[in-house]
A and B are shown apart, each in its own frame.
Chain A
């Protein structure tokens, strides 16, 4: 079946380093992708999104890259801070029956060491 998945379940980095979190998707019809951050005890929070007509989008300290050829998505966090420690999810808006269903990957836990 088609699914959204993550390559690395846990990523540990030092404060100040750059972090890269990867995500693979298999539904070539998906045209909208979102990265969410979930802190302990809270709901997922939107970080950045990208549509399939783009291959790169930048925000504040974050960049999302989309490679449609290999169906790969990545989130880059520059100068990672302890406050970035959280679980990061990629989500794929999957077209079904004329609607788009947000479907989440399993998540990657980012641990930032001071």
Chain B
């Protein structure tokens, strides 16, 4: 298995633009997580899905952030409009069951200028 695949690896965008981050989880994994990593706040859980259904989105910073999982093999995290403070590395992770280890993608480094 190729593992969790995220795209793009790097994204530079101007403030106010829409940004879409993509994730393909490991086949057969029922749980998908979106994390944001910054030096100041560390790894923060934004949202997670179980069987394509959003379960907990309490970590989503504000309404500018939205996430979808239209099927078991694809998820998106969208920021509209983006702001410089959204600059971070965004990770997607999946796990086969709850209460087991998560498998992380390589991350998307987002820079909003």
Q: Chain A: how many interface residues by the 8 Å CB criterion?
A: 24
The residues in B between 68 and 103 inclusive whose CB is less than 8 angstroms from any CB of A are: 91, 93, 98-103
Main secondary structure of the interface of A (DSSP, over half): strand
Within the complex, the shortest CB–CB distance from B41 to chain A, in Å, comes to: 9
**Chain B interface: which size bin?**
20 to 34
Q: Are B101 and A101 in contact (CB under 8 A)?
A: no
Q: Are B103 and A104 in contact (CB under 8 A)?
A: no
Neighbouring B residues of A45 by C-beta, 8 Å: 104
Complex CA–CA separation, A32 to B50 (angstroms) = 19
Neighbouring B residues of A49 by C-beta, 8 Å: 101
Q: Is A103 an interface residue (CB 8 A)?
A: yes
Neighbouring A residues of B56 by C-beta, 8 Å: 96-97, 99, 101
B89: nearest chain-A partner, CB-CB: A43
Contact pick for A89, options B33, B43, B50, CB 8 Å: B43
Q: Is B106 an interface residue (CB 8 A)?
A: yes
Neighbouring A residues of B25 by C-beta, 8 Å: none
CB pairs A–B below 8 angstroms (24 shown): A31-B99, A32-B100, A36-B104, A41-B106, A42-B107, A43-B4, A43-B91, A43-B93, A43-B104, A43-B105, A43-B106, A43-B107, A44-B43, A46-B103, A89-B43, A99-B55, A99-B98, A100-B98, A100-B99, A101-B48, A102-B45, A103-B45, A105-B42, A107-B42
Using CB atoms and an 8 Å cutoff, list the residues of chain B in contact with chain A.
4, 33, 35, 42-43, 45, 48, 50, 55-56, 91, 93, 98-107
